[in-house]
Amino acid sequence: MPSTLLLTQTEIEMLLDDGELFQQLKDGFAALAKAGPELRGRRFPVVLNAADSDAAGMVLAPGLIPGIPAYTVKVNAKFPSQPPAIKGLVILHSLHDGAILALLDSGYLTARRTAAAGAVGADTLARPDSETVSVIGCGVQGYAQLQWMLKIRQIRNVFVYDTVPGQVQAFVERARSEFDIPVEICDNAKQAAGKGDIVITATWAREPFLFCGDVRPGTHITTLGPDGPGECEVAADLLVASLFFADDAALQIEMGAIGGAGLGAEAISATIGEVLAGRKPGRQSPDDITIYGMVGLPFEDLAAGWLVYKKALKSGVGTQIDLAA
């Protein structure tokens, strides 16, 4: 058996280039729309019988992209109250013979590819003149999404809200030190949402907290918290009054924002891949409220993992191990 490359979080952070990942994800979403469900992959949420009541396990398999001679399988454990909330591995296999090419820490890789996928959606759907961002949910992913919004739009003000005061304060202090823009703490989610041209919701919520009338005409919302059954951030009335775009339509109904709000396929305007492939329109008016719902797709792990793996081989980064020894 050929050796397997072991890559840690620190090594992945050094190797993964955001610009390359952004383009790979755009291409991947478009390819997904053209190829159909065979590239979608499947997600198997499994509730763990553990003392921690918010524990959940998740296995995603497989991630495929045309032109990449590999596939990924990811095993994650989700324990929201035990930071880091996501722990696991991305396993990179050869598409030719199934050989295990690499083992990659999944927590950091997942955060980076999720942030880049959110940026693809926002860049495609948000108004070009968007100047303000509101972040509801000031955890790792909320901050990662903010970093990307500052790359794709000329942002002048940031508004934030979180139910955990210490978390929101740490978020604000970090943002103020990293970016030369004002960052304001809001009293509640509605107040924050009403101030943003782009609104990011990245929470563990199981009940909606954004409703019709809470955002202004022309707002873009990225809702990425709901990625399992029973999770919900945006209420049905706001979803129906908006143009909703899914990373994957079937999964949005099964375990995403659409299903969490009790809605079905009729509430989905298109997938982001269909928009990128030119098959369906995205935003049609400056006054449209657009919503991008993300559950996260397996191909995103392959896009990120393959980029890292190829750079690691070229630069000699990582540890070669023999799993058959």
Question: In the predicted model, what is the mean pLDDT of residues 64-72?
Answer: 88
C-beta of residue 253 within 8 angstroms of C-beta of residue 282: no
pLDDT at 38: 55
Average pLDDT rounded to a whole number, residues 24-53: 68
Q: Do domains 4-104+298-321 and 112-293 have the same CATH topology?
A: no
Q: Evaluate whether 122 touches 276 at the Cβ level (below 8 Å).
A: no
In the structure, what pLDDT confidence band is assigned to residue 1 with cuts at 50, 70 and 90?
low
Cβ atoms of residues 288 and 282 within 8 Å: no
Mean pLDDT value across the chain: 91
For residue 44, the model assigns a pLDDT of 53
Q: Poorest-confidence range of 76-80, 93-97, 174-178, 243-247?
A: 76-80
Q: Kindly state which CATH superfamily the domain 4-104+298-321 is placed in.
A: ornithine cyclodeaminase, domain 1 (3.30.1780.10)
pTM of the model: 0.91
Share of the chain above pLDDT 90, in %: 76
The answer to whether residues 318 and 22 touch, using CB atoms and an 8 Å cutoff, is no
Locate 73 and state its tokens: 């399988």
Q: For residues 52 and 108, is the Cβ–Cβ distance under 8 A?
A: no
Least confident of 6-20, 79-93, 208-222, 235-249: 79-93
Spell out the SS3 assignment of 281-317: CCCCCCCCCEEEECCCCHHHHHHHHHHHHHHHHHHCC
Task: Return the pLDDT at 75.
Answer: 85
Tell me the mean pLDDT in the region 131-138.
98
Q: What is the pLDDT of residue 165?
A: 87
Kindly list the domain boundaries of the chain, sorted by start residue: 4-104+298-321, 112-293
Question: What architecture does CATH give domain 112-293?
Answer: 3-Layer(aba) Sandwich (3.40)
